[in-house]
Amino acid sequence: MMAAHLNPFTTCAMNLLGLPDYVSDATQFLNELKRAKPQLEAEQRAGRALLWDRPQDRDFARQAQAARVPQKPYVYQTEPSLR
């Protein structure tokens, strides 16, 4: 008999079969790493901000778009000879 306090919408199908919750090795590793190094997420965010989160220069983007050269669908295709 199912306990009355369990919500059927939040109960995992695997638990209905009586199996324990599965946690992959990768997830276990990441959870242990986060517990061992609580500052890790802040360091990751700082690294992302250093390399990726940059303000965009709209004038430069507009110039780069205007300077694009049309490219053929397959750039390595040779031109057919007209003989």
Calculate mean pLDDT across residues 60-64: 96
Nearest to 57 by CA among 65, 45, 68: 65
Query: Given a cut of 50, is residue 36 above it in pLDDT?
Result: yes
Read off the pLDDT of each residue in 52-78 and give the average, rounded to a whole number.
89
What does pTM read for this prediction? 0.43
Q: Distance (Å, rounded) from C-alpha 50 to C-alpha 77?
A: 40
